């Protein structure tokens, strides 16, 4: 009983992080992304989000493995791995690359905004997948 309770607590915490990020980053789309302060704040928000998702999804994956739920364990491990990849190789490095040229180039501003939207869309897909799996798959 204890392993499944820990698994569900970790999953709820993961859903809270995903929901917080979704609700917190959506209003930031009204920013013009044309100043270094805007881009630094958005990059920091993405960075904190990815670290939180990596930690909570990893904890959920381990606890689901402990409770004998391999499908959920693999799913949470995939979410943790995706957050790691997005943070390490895809979203954050591209944001860092674009941040240096934002005040000078309009194309950098547009690319940064597109990257912001892509990160939010990936989060929405992850959030939807986790919510769907909890309602459709048997624990």
Say yes or no to pLDDT of 77 above 90: yes
pLDDT at residue number 46: 95
How far apart CA 112 and CA 99 sit, in angstroms, is 8
- The predicted-structure confidence for 24-50, as pLDDT tens digits, reads as follows 998 888 877 777 788 889 999 999 999
Measured on CA atoms in the order 56, 57, 63, 67, is the torsion positive or negative? positive
How far apart CA 47 and CA 88 sit, in angstroms, is 10
Question: Can you give the CATH number for the domain in which 101 is found?
Answer: 1.20.120
Domain that holds residue 50: 2-136
Say which DSSP state 35 is in.
S
pLDDT at residue number 98: 86
- The predicted-structure confidence for 96-120, as pLDDT tens digits, reads as follows 888 877 776 678 888 988 999 999 9
The count of domains in the chain is 1
**44: three-class secondary structure by DSSP:** helix
Closest CA to 91 of 27, 134, 39: 39
Q: Using CB atoms within 10 Å of the CB of residue 72, give its burial: 0 to 12 exposed, 13 to 18 middle, 19+ buried.
A: buried
> Could you tell me the pLDDT band of residue 128, with boundaries at 50, 70 and 90?
very high
pLDDT at residue number 139: 61
Q: Could you tell me if 50 and 25 are in contact, meaning their C-beta atoms sit under 8 angstroms apart?
A: no
pTM of the model: 0.90
Helices (H), the chain: 2-25, 36-66, 70-85, 91-99, 106-136
Q: Residue 18, Cβ neighbours under 10 Å: how many?
A: 23
């Amino acid at each position: 009983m204890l392993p499944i309770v820990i698994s569900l607590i970790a999953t709820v915490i993961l859903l809270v992080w995903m929901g917080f990020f979704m609700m917190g980053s959506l209003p930031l789309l009204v920013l013009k992304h044309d100043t270094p302060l805007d881009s630094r704040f958005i990059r920091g928000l993405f960075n904190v989000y990815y670290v939180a998702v990596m930690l909570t999804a990893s904890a959920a994956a381990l606890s689901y493995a402990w409770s004998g739920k391999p499908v959920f364990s693999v799913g949470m491990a995939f979410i943790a791995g995706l957050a790691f990849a997005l943070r390490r190789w895809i979203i954050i490095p591209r944001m860092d690359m674009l941040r240096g040229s934002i005040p000078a180039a309009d194309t950098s501003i547009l690319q940064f905004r597109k990257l912001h939207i892509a990160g939010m869309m990936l989060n929405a897909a992850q959030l939807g997948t986790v919510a769907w799996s909890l309602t459709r798959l048997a624990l």
